[in-house]
Amino acid sequence: MRTNNTFINRFFSIVILLLSFVFTGCKDNPKKPIVVTKIDTTKIINDYDTAYVGIPLSDTIMQHNKETFVIYGCAYCHGLYLTPVGEAADLRKSTIVGADVNGNLIGKILRNGIPLTAKSSPMPQYSDLKDEEIKAISAYIHYARDIANKTLSDSMVLKK
């Protein structure tokens, strides 16, 4: 009797196991993990908005600086490569930028803005920028200015 019971128990557990395989195979298991085997780099480049952020720079720190410049809207008025749009000051020629070291003068302008000017879209105030953000933005302005004024020849040539 004892051996018989064990046999029946084993037989049914095997049948149930097989049935469960059959039934779970019939519909998609929603808990099935999605395994990413390959990162499609062409897709990443295609998704990168070159019209907005320009060509990606191989210097990743400078790329970050440029993105900070774009994110805060500077490029919208001053131009991504410092060719000003509308009334904005030409940062390629600005004496303030020329005298700036590590954001010491640019930072002052950003924190205060340039209020009460006759310009219809005046220089906004960025009172809550972090010091690192001012340094990043200033570094990009110096870099793009040096390239625009051809004092820096770089393989990372900025295209217009």
Closest to ligand HEC by CB, 72 vs 81, is 72
The token duo for 91 is: 């940062």
Neighbours of 140 (CB within 10 A): 25
Give one DSSP letter per residue of 77-142, joined into a string: HH-TTS---TTS--TTT-HHHHH-STTHHHHHHHHH---S-S-SSPPPP-TT--HHHHHHHHHHHH
106 binds ligand HEC, rule: CB under 6 A: yes
- Answer yes or no whether residue 81 interacts with ligand HEC by CB under 6 A: no
- Residue 56 or residue 124: which is nearer to ligand HEC going by CB? 124
Which region among 2-10, 12-20, 36-44, 83-91 touches ligand HEC (by CB under 6 A)? 83-91
Phi, psi of 28, rounded to the nearest 5 degrees = -65, 130
Backbone angles phi, psi at 79, to 5 degrees: 85, 140
Among 57, 80, 82, 110, the residue binding ligand HEC under the rule CB under 6 A is 110
Ranked by CB distance to ligand HEC, the top (closest) residue is: 74
139 sits near ligand HEC (criterion: CB under 6 A): no
Shortest distance (Å) from residue 132 CB to ligand HEC: 14
Interface residue with ligand HEC, options 10, 108, 111, 119 (CB under 6 A): 119
Q: Which is nearer to ligand HEC, 10 or 111 (CB)?
A: 111
- CA distance linking residue 113 with residue 116, whole number of Å: 10
Type of residue at 145: R
121 near ligand HEC, rule: CB under 6 A: yes
Residue closer to ligand HEC, measured from CB, 18 or 98? 98
